Structure 1
Amino acid sequence: MTATEGRMPALYLSHGAPPLADDPLWPGQLAAWSSKLPRPTAILIVSAHWEEAPLALGATRTVPLVHDFWGFPDRYYQVRYAAPGAPELATSVRALLRGAGTPVQDVPDRGLDHGAYVPLVEMFPDADIPVLQISMPTLDPRKLMGVGRRLAPLRDEGVLIIGSGFFTHNLAALRHPGGAAPGWSAEFDDWGDRALRARDIDALLDFQHTSPTGALAHPRTEHFAPLFVTLGAAEDELDQGRSVIDGFWMGLAKRSVQFG
Structure 2
Amino acid sequence: MSSALTQNVDVPSNQAEWRAALESLPSTPQKIPAFFFAHGSPALALAQMPARLRSSGRSDFQQYQGPNGPLANFLRDFGPALLRKYSPKAIVVFSAHWETLGERLVTDYGEENPLLMDYYGFPQESYELKFKSRGDKQLAERLVALYKEAGQLARTTSKLEPRGSDGRGFEGPGLDHGVFVPFRLMFGEEFALPVVQVSIDSNMSPEANWKLGKVVKVLREENVLVLAGGLPIHNLRDFSSFTPDTAQPIHHSFHKAILDALQVSNAQERKKAMLDLPQHPGFRACNPREEHFVPLYIAAGAAENENVKLLNGLYGIPTVAFGV
The answer, yes or no, to whether TM exceeds 0.5 is yes
> What is the percent sequence identity of the aligned residues?
31
1:50-97 superposed Cα distances (whole Å, 9 cap, x missing partner): 111311112332242000011111111111111111212112111211
**In the alignment, structure 1 residue 45 sits paired with structure 2 residue 114:** no
Compared with structure 1, are the counterparts of its residues 45 and 173 closer, same or farther at alpha carbon in structure 2 (3 Å cutoff)? same
Counterpart AA for 2:96: A
**Secondary structure class of the residue paired with 2:98:** strand
**In the alignment, structure 1 residue 11 sits paired with structure 2 residue 4:** no
**CA positional deviation for 1:180:** 4.2
Equivalent position to 1:60, from 86, 101, 109:
109
Counterpart AA for 1:89: L
**In the alignment, structure 1 residue 30 sits paired with structure 2 residue 75:** yes
Equivalent position to 1:96, from 125, 129, 146:
146
**In the alignment, structure 1 residue 244 sits paired with structure 2 residue 268:** no
**In the alignment, structure 1 residue 152 sits paired with structure 2 residue 200:** no
Equivalent position to 2:296, from 227, 230, 235:
227
Q: How does 1:53-132 map to 2 (within 5 A)?
A: 53=101, 54-61=103-110, 62-109=112-159, 110-125=173-188, 126-132=190-196
Tell me the TM-score normalized by structure 1: 0.90
Equivalent position to 1:165, from 230, 253, 265:
230
Q: In the alignment, is the contact (CA less than 8 A) between 1:68 and 1:113 conserved in 2?
A: yes
Is the deviation greater in 56-65 or in 70-79? 56-65
**Secondary structure class of the residue paired with 1:129:** strand
1:108-165 superposed Cα distances (whole Å, 9 cap, x missing partner): 1231001111111111114111000111133111111111111100001111111111
**In the alignment, structure 1 residue 185 sits paired with structure 2 residue 248:** no
Distance of 2:68 and 2:232 partners within structure 1? 18
Is the deviation greater in 90-99 or in 23-32? 23-32
Aligned residue-pair number: 250
CA RMSD of aligned residues (A): 1.8
Is the deviation greater in 115-124 or in 56-65? 56-65
Counterpart AA for 1:244: L
Tell me the TM-score normalized by structure 2: 0.73
Distance of 1:60 and 1:24 partners within structure 2? 32
Distance of 1:70 and 1:221 partners within structure 2? 21
Equivalent position to 1:205, from 265, 275, 298:
275
**CA positional deviation for 1:175:** 5.0
Uncovered stretches (5+) of structure 2, i.e. residues with no partner: 1-27, 46-66, 160-172
- In our comparison, the structure showing a higher alpha carbon Rg is 2
Q: Which runs of 4+ in 1 moved over 3 A?
A: 175-178
